[in-house]
Amino acid sequence: MTTDPRPRTDDPGVLLRATDVTKHYALRGDSLTRRRKVLRAVDGVSLEVRGGETLGIVGESGCGKSTLGRCLVRLTDITGGRVEFDGQDITTLSARRLRPVRPGMQLVFQDPQASLNPRRRAGDIVAEPLLIHRYGDSAAVRRRVAELFDVVGLSAAHLDRYPHEFSGGQRQRIGIARALATSPKLIVADEPVSALDVSIQAQVLNLFADLQDEFGLTYVFIAHDLGVVRHVSDRIAVMYLGEIVELADTETLYGAPAHPYTEALMSAVPEIDDGTGDPQAPRRERIVLTGDVPDPVARPAGCAFHTRCPYARELCAVERPRLAVTPSGRAVACHYPLVAAG
């Protein structure tokens, strides 16, 4: 077992690489001590995303998923560490130097209602990134927008409508068309189906899959719902309080979670009872996650999960477990992983 989760080689297949990324927010101190508090939203994350794959990121609310997503595409400046995209270190690029890099990496937001300007027509919303990046003359932009509408399953009749005239699923299609406009290599999708009715979620997830096949897209797919990420991800990173606590192939992770937090998240996924199951079959043991995620301003010492972990022992409150990569490529940050290394 090695204890260094950082990439060992310059693998040309890697499109996005984050090395020890931190994002800290300085909060106003209380009026008595005036000491500023630091909120560690992302606290030392290292990961790689290979071209064409989907990396899922899961964790409870407040674990830092959205902040990490924004760091990965430099929508927010990072406090420490390094982000490389397509072979280029983008960590400290100025706005001007970042400009030619931006088209290659796009974000799709959770709430299409909030992320689309209500006063602009759908066609204009999708045209905006094309105009910013000087795609071509107005006829070329119009053609491209019509093509994008077609690609995401909207029709030409939708071009002149305003966001409120669409259903939630259609609005997310507009958000996806806008993200696709500049032909990105990477899309970071931040809970792109969480705000949608369950019946619509599958359609939008299928659209993501189709687009990946068609354009060879690479996704970072953020969700708090393990059921959703399972269906779209090649690999999954589980986050807790700003850290990755487990990272593994989807099948490996679901087959046998190694981190107690992953196990707890998985046992919280409701099992669907469609009446065809064997009533005699043993039921998955449910590990109930009690309490809330601790305040990231006051991260528990040792293992951040020890205040809620059913397996915690003395060492857990004292020593912080580091993310260790096993030879099989699974990474886990736990003193007492639930499966043996290998």
Span near ligand ATP by CB under 6 A; candidates 60-68, 84-92, 144-152, 169-177: 60-68
Helices (H) and strands (E) in the chain, counts: 10, 12
Binder among 65, 158, 185, 335 for ligand SF4 (CB under 6 A): 335
Instruction: Label residues 140-161 b or e (16+ Cβ within 10 Å = b).
Output: ebeebbbebbebbbbeeebbee
Contacts of 78 (CB under 8 A, 6+ apart): 21, 22, 23, 42, 71, 91
Residues 222-251 that bind ligand ATP (CB under 6 A): 224
Q: Which tokens go with 219?
A: 């996704």
Q: Which is nearer to ligand SF4, 281 or 288 (CB)?
A: 288
SS3 183: coil
Q: Which of 16, 41, 323, 325 binds ligand ATP (CB under 6 A)?
A: 41
Contacting residue, 45, 144, 321, 331, with ligand SF4 by CB under 6 A:
321
The letter for the amino acid at 335 is H
Q: Which does 208 bind (CB under 5 to 8 A by kind): ligand ATP, Mg ion, ligand SF4, none?
A: none
Task: Evaluate whether 199 touches 187 at the Cβ level (below 8 Å).
Answer: no
Nearer to ligand SF4 among residue 184 and residue 321 (C-beta): 321
User: Which of 3, 33, 61, 290 is the binder for ligand ATP (CB under 6 A)?
Assistant: 61
CB of 224 to ligand ATP, least distance (A): 5
Q: What, of ligand ATP, Mg ion, ligand SF4, none, does residue 61 touch, CB below 5 to 8 Å by kind?
A: ligand ATP
Q: Are strands 37-50 and 14-27 parallel, antiparallel or unpaired?
A: antiparallel
Given a contact cutoff of 8 angstroms between Cβ atoms, the answer to whether 250 and 70 are in contact is no
- Residue 59 binding ligand ATP, by CB under 6 A: yes
As measured in angstroms, the least distance from the Cβ of 105 to ligand ATP is 18
The site that binds ligand ATP (CB under 6 A) totals a number of residues, namely 13
- Closest CB to ligand SF4 among 177 and 303? 303
Q: Which of 14, 55, 58, 63 binds ligand ATP (CB under 6 A)?
A: 63
The verdict on 260 binding ligand SF4 (CB under 6 A) reads yes
Distances (CA, A) of 252 to 14, 235, 241: 21, 9, 23
Contact (CB, 8 A) for 41 and 64: yes
d(CA 288, CA 293): 13
* Closer residue to ligand ATP, CB minimum distance, 152 or 304: 304
Beta carbons of 327 and 342 less than 8 angstroms apart = yes
Query: Is 254 near ligand SF4 (CB under 6 A)?
Result: no
Distance between CA atoms of residues 68 and 232, nearest Å: 19
3-state SS record for 269-283: CCCCCCCCCCCCCCC
66 near ligand ATP (CB under 6 A): yes
Name which of residues 280 to 319 contact ligand SF4 (CB under 6 A). Answer: 303, 305-306, 309, 311-312, 316
Tokens of 194: 């969480």
Q: Which is nearer to Mg ion, 149 or 219 (CB)?
A: 219
Q: What SS3 state is found at 219?
A: strand
State the binding string over 195-224 for ligand ATP (x if CB under 6 A, else -): -----------------------------x
Instruction: Compare residues 169 and 302 and give the one whose CB is closer to ligand SF4.
Output: 302
Q: How many residues bind ligand SF4 (CB under 6 A)?
A: 13
Which residues bind to ligand ATP, rule: CB under 6 A?
25, 39, 41, 59, 61-67, 224, 296
